[in-house]
């Protein structure tokens, strides 16, 4: 393979070469970012555990379940333990940057979510003190919070009667070994919330948002879901029990099937750039018609001559792909910071990088195929007569 | 001298715009090894078609073309490519150098198909350029060379892999008189000193004077083969 000829042909029209590679780089950059968004949005679904279920109101996720359901659900065969999840919706000192807060069963949270690991402070401290909380590592690092930090939160859903904020103290910082639990959340005692509302020192709905259920080893999730749903078939509040994966998928589709739209945009960008690169490579192929004839006359086979054009296309697309991946890597962290907990876990994974490079190669193959086949079929005599 | 090329009843028929053209009509010819042949005739007489058939760039519709004992009309595309690489060097009217490569790189190109190392390829290319007196322009691209220099580079490329046969299609057609004479002298020298068999298509009687044999064609038919004893033995 005359490599020197391949590179010289690529650089023959430097501006065209640079523009083509840059356009490819931009397309691959967009694909990387969009794909990373899709991966981040789907991460909770893909990483969901099969031994966890979620019980929610059959009417809507935003309708609370009675607290009396906790004992009843706990009595179903196959259920090992469970916790409420109550969304708090608090804000911290009018600072920008949202983070989620949930009221949970402090004694059971880490048993149910064993992917959570305390990296500072202790679970015992959290369980022992009613106003203590656990915060994720990303949240702690982002805000500079440490164990012992006091976190005052104001909640429109649960305003305090005295008009002041809810006071929480950080008892521990956790990290998560899975994307099922993001590291930007604050977990506090549900009992603290419940008792405050019961005593009248705070206002708000006094029910559980959802129940997260951990199954006994070997329990049949389908049977447990059926039994839980059947138990409340006649009220007072019908429930819908789903696997954790289905529950997480709900959140993704609530945003209007964002992954699908992102994938569509990515696909559209790729299709557009493919057409542009095909056009460029066809033009290059036509310009090199006589060269193809010369090579054939010298004894290069049809395959070798078509290989020259195909390799040019592959090199252009691979360079564009590398440029796009490099750009995506460069902005990955700043972009993750901008997206924040709204798209927790946004990162350019090696899987996405590999996909981007494979897509680049596929683009190169598709764009180079036409000129390569044409060069292969060229009759030497006709090619040598070509006007270039 | 032994026979290097044997054409027997060779015809080549083209269809252009619905009209059938017999570019070469039942041509039979023997070419001796080491001979310098000029093919002359009016435009459309079949000179270039004959040259393309002998060089394996085209295939006959009828007849056989045997070169060095090999029936090249029966070879597959890949076999023919391999055969061309080993046996034929081409010199074209329009030079047909690759514009993005330097003269030296153009000359080296056929050697990429050989098992030679990079160093050996460079050495061979340098020798070929020396032979055509173009060493000082080796690193220039075709656009930086005069017509005569480009054609000499093309001749160096044609001989670099040491083929038995050099096919030149109007090699002086695009050159001024002085450059043309230089190229013709060079071809004659290759024939005389290296024993290369040269087939040259030309319209120019002065160019044909350099050859030992002149083959006349008209309307696709071979009219005559004239031997010039003095030129052939020179």
Residue-range domain boundaries for chain B: 3-233
Q: What percent of chain A has pLDDT over 70?
A: 94
- Partner residue facing A8 (CB), from B81, B82, B101: B101
The token pair at A300 is 């290069």
Cα of B192 to nearest chain A Cα, Å: 24
Order the strands of the B88-91 sheet from edge to edge.
B88-91, B165-169, B197-201, B36-40, B213-218, B221-227
Task: Convert the pLDDT of each residue in A43-52 to its tens digit.
Answer: 766 767 778 8
Residue-level pLDDT at A328 = 94
Kindly state the helix (H) or strand (E) to which residue B164 belongs, with its residue range: none
To test the contact with chain B by mutation, choose from A3, A12, A298 the residue with the greatest count of B C-beta atoms within 10 A, namely A298
Inter-chain CB proximity A291 and B77 less than 8 Å: no
Q: Which residues pair with A86 in a beta bridge?
A: A103
The token pair at A217 is 């080893």
Residue B231 has pLDDT above 60, yes or no: no
Residue-level pLDDT at A388 = 62
Residue A7 has pLDDT above 50, yes or no: yes
Domain covering B3-233 assigned CATH 3.40.630.30 in the classification: no
Highest average pLDDT, of A23-27, A179-183, A259-263, comes from: A23-27
**Searching chain A, which residue's CA lies closest to the CA of residue B87?**
A299
How far the first Cα of chain A sits from its last, in Å, is: 23
Inter-chain CB proximity A5 and B109 less than 8 Å: yes
To test the contact with chain A by mutation, choose from B57, B110, B115, B122 the residue with the greatest count of A C-beta atoms within 10 A, namely B57
Task: Convert the pLDDT of each residue in A128-185 to its tens digit.
Answer: 898 999 999 888 988 889 999 898 888 888 888 888 889 999 999 999 887 778 888 9
In chain B the beta strands, taken as DSSP E runs, fall at: 3-16, 19-32, 36-40, 62-67, 70-71, 88-91, 165-169, 197-201, 213-218, 221-227
Nearest to B49 by CA among A379, A48, A136, A70: A379
Residue-level pLDDT at A44 = 65
Q: Report the mean per-residue pLDDT for chain A.
A: 88
Cα of B32 to nearest chain A Cα, Å: 23
In our burial notation (b when 16+ CB lie closer than 10 A, e otherwise), range A57-95 reads beeeeeebbbeebbeebeebebbeebbbbbbbebbbeee
Residue A292 has pLDDT above 80, yes or no: yes
Residue B234 has pLDDT above 80, yes or no: no
- Please give the full DSSP string across A334-378, using - where no structure is assigned: HHHHHHGGGGTT----HHHHHHHHHHHHHHHHHHHHHHHHHHHH-
Inter-chain CB proximity A301 and B105 less than 8 Å: no
Instruction: Tell me what ipTM this predicted complex has.
Output: 0.91
Residue-level pLDDT at B200 = 96
Residue B20 has pLDDT above 60, yes or no: yes
Q: Which residues of A touch B150 (CB under 8 A)?
A: none
Q: Which of A42-56, A96-110, A257-271, A299-313 has the lowest mean pLDDT?
A: A42-56
Residue-level pLDDT at A96 = 64
Residue A291 has pLDDT above 90, yes or no: yes
Residue B233 has pLDDT above 60, yes or no: no
Partner A, chain B 160-189, Cβ-Cβ below 8 Å: none
User: In whole angstroms, what is the distance from residue A335 CA to residue A340 CA?
Assistant: 8
Task: Convert the pLDDT of each residue in A323-347 to its tens digit.
Answer: 999 999 999 888 887 776 666 678 8
Inter-chain CB proximity A300 and B113 less than 8 Å: yes
Kindly state the helix (H) or strand (E) to which residue A319 belongs, with its residue range: helix A302-339
In our burial notation (b when 16+ CB lie closer than 10 A, e otherwise), range A202-233 reads bebebbbbbbbbbbeeebebeebbebbbebbe
B197-201 and B36-40 strand pairing: parallel
Q: Which of A86-100, B23-37, B179-193 has the lowest mean pLDDT?
A: A86-100
Q: Report the mean per-residue pLDDT for chain B.
A: 91
Task: Convert the pLDDT of each residue in B129-173 to its tens digit.
Answer: 999 999 999 999 999 999 999 999 999 999 999 999 999 999 998
How many Cβ pairs within 8 Å bridge chains A and B? 67
């Amino acid at each position: 393979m005359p490599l020197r000829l391949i590179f010289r042909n690529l650089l023959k029209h430097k501006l065209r070469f640079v523009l083509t590679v840059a356009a490819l780089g931009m397309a691959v950059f967009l694909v990387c970012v969009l794909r990373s968004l899709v991966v981040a949005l789907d991460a909770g679904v893909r990483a969901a555990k099969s031994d966890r279920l979620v019980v929610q109101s059959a009417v809507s996720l935003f309708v609370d379940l009675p607290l009396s359901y906790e004992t009843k659900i706990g009595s179903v065969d196959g259920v090992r333990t469970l916790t409420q999840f109550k969304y708090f919706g608090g804000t911290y000192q009018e600072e920008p940057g949202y983070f989620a807060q949930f009221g949970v069963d402090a004694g059971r949270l880490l048993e149910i979510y064993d992917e959570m690991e305390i990296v500072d402070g202790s679970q015992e401290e959290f369980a022992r003190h009613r106003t203590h909380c656990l915060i994720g590592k990303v949240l702690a690092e982002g805000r500079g919070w440490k164990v012992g930090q006091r976190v005052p939160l104001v909640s429109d859903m649960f305003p305090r009667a005295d008009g002041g904020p809810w006071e929480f103290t950080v008892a521990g910082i956790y990290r998560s070994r899975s994307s099922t639990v993001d590291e930007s959340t604050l977990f506090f005692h549900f009992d603290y919330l419940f008792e405050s509302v019961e005593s009248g020192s705070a206002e708000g709905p006094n029910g559980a948002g959802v129940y997260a259920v951990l199954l006994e080893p070997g329990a049949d999730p389908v049977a447990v879901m059926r039994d839980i749903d059947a138990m409340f078939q006649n009220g007072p509040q019908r429930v819908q029990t789903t696997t954790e994966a289905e529950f997480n998928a709900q959140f993704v589709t609530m945003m209007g099937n964002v992954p699908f739209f992102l994938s569509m945009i990515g696909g559209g960008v790729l299709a557009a750039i493919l057409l542009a690169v095909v056009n460029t490579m066809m033009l290059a192929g036509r310009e090199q018609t006589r060269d193809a004839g010369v090579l054939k006359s010298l004894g290069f086979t049809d395959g070798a001559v078509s290989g020259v054009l195909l390799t040019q296309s592959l090199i252009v697309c691979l360079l564009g792909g590398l440029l796009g991946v490099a750009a995506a890597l460069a902005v990955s962290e700043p972009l993750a910071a901008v997206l924040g907990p709204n798209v927790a876990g946004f990162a350019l994974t090696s899987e996405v990088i590999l996909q981007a490079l494979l897509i680049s190669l596929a683009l190169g193959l598709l764009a180079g195929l036409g000129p390569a086949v044409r060069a292969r079929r060229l009759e030497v005599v006709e090619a040598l007569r070509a006007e270039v | 001298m032994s026979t290097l090329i044997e054409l027997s009843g060779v015809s080549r028929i083209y269809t252009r715009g619905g009209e059938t053209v017999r570019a070469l009509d039942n041509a039979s010819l023997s070419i001796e090894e080491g001979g310098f042949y000029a093919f002359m005739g009016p435009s459309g007489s079949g000179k270039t078609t004959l040259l393309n058939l002998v060089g394996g760039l085209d295939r006959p519709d009828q007849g056989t073309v045997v070169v060095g004992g090999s029936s090249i009309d029966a070879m597959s595309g890949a076999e023919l490519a391999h055969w061309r690489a080993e046996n034929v060097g081409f010199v074209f009217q329009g030079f047909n150098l690759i514009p993005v490569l330097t003269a030296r790189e153009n000359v080296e190109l056929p050697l990429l198909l050989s098992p030679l190392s990079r160093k050996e390829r460079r050495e061979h290319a340098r020798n070929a350029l020396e032979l055509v007196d173009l060493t000082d322009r080796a690193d220039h691209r075709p656009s930086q060379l005069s017509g005569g220099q480009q054609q000499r580079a093309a001749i160096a490329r044609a001989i670099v892999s040491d083929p038995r046969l050099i096919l030149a299609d109007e090699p002086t057609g695009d050159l001024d008189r002085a450059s043309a004479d230089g190229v013709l002298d060079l071809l004659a020298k290759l024939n005389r000193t290296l024993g290369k068999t040269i087939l040259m298509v030309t319209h120019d009687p002065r160019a044909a004077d350099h050859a030992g044999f002149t083959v006349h064609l008209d309307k696709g038919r071979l009219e005559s083969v004239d031997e010039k004893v003095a030129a052939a033995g020179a």
